[in-house]
Amino acid sequence: MDSQLGLTNLNFLIEQSFNNRYSNWVLEPLNELPDSFTITDPSISGHPIVFASKGFLKLSGYSMDEIIGQNGRIFQGPQTDRRTIMAIREAVREERAVQVNLLNYRKDGTPFWILFHMSPVFSKDDGRVIHFVAVQVPISRKIKTNGDSLSDDVMFGSCRKEVCLDSMMNRLLCSDFDSKGFNIEEQCEAGDFEKRRAANGISNILSVLTHYSELTGKLVCGKRCNAVVLGSLGRLNISLGRIKQSFVLTDPHLPDMPIVFASDSFLKLTGYERHEVLGRSCSFLYGDDTDPATLYLINESIQLEQPCTVRILSYRKDKSSFWNLLHISPVRNASGKIAYFIGVQVEDGGKNQDRPGMSPEKRHLSVVGAVKVAIRGLSLGACSSNS
pLDDT greater at residue 385 or residue 26: 26
pLDDT score of 101 more than 70: yes
Element (H, E) at 14: helix 2-19
Task: Classify the C-alpha dihedral 346-350-351-355 as positive or negative.
Answer: positive
Q: Cβ–Cβ contacts within 10 Å for residue 167, how many?
A: 7
Under CATH, domain 226-386 is a member of which superfamily? Answer: PAS domain (3.30.450.20)
Report helix, strand or coil for 382: helix
Q: Cβ–Cβ contacts within 10 Å for residue 277, how many?
A: 22
- pLDDT category, 348, cuts 50, 70, 90? confident
Q: What's the confidence (pLDDT) of residue 354?
A: 46
DSSP conformation class of 245: S
User: Domain locations in the chain?
Assistant: 2-139+188-221, 226-386
Report the C-alpha gap between 163 and 150 in whole angstroms: 8
pLDDT greater at residue 233 or residue 101: 101
Q: What is the model's pTM?
A: 0.58
What are the strands, taking DSSP E only, across 205-319?
A: 220-221, 246-250, 259-262, 308-315
DSSP per position, 134-173: EEEEE-B---EETTEE--SSPBTT---GGG--HHHHHHH-
Report helix, strand or coil for 120: strand
Residue type for position 231: G
pLDDT score of 73 more than 80: yes
Report helix, strand or coil for 277: coil
pLDDT score of 39 more than 70: yes
Report the C-alpha gap between 225 and 123 in whole angstroms: 8
- pLDDT category, 358, cuts 50, 70, 90? low
pLDDT in tens, 161-220: 333 333 333 333 333 334 444 455 567 788 899 999 999 999 999 999 999 998 888 889
* Rounded percentage of the chain residues whose pLDDT exceeds 90: 45
Whether 226-386 and 2-139+188-221 are alike in CATH topology: the answer is yes
Cβ 48 vs Cβ 73: under 8 Å? no
Report the C-alpha gap between 321 and 270 in whole angstroms: 9
Least confident piece of the model among 13-27, 89-103, 278-292:
13-27
pLDDT score of 274 more than 70: yes
Residue type for position 75: F
Sequence length of the chain is 387
Cβ 129 vs Cβ 154: under 8 Å? no
Report the C-alpha gap between 364 and 204 in whole angstroms: 47
pLDDT score of 385 more than 50: no
pLDDT score of 359 more than 80: no
Domain 2-139+188-221 part of CATH 3.20.20.80: no
Q: Which of 369, 330, 378 is nearest to 231 (CA)?
A: 378
Q: Cβ–Cβ contacts within 10 Å for residue 199, how many?
A: 15
Least confident piece of the model among 151-155, 169-173, 259-263, 340-344:
169-173
Mean pLDDT within 307-323: 93
DSSP conformation class of 329: E
Cβ 138 vs Cβ 36: under 8 Å? yes
Report the C-alpha gap between 127 and 330 in whole angstroms: 22
Backbone torsions φ then ψ of 342, nearest 5 degrees: -110, 140
Cβ 261 vs Cβ 251: under 8 Å? no
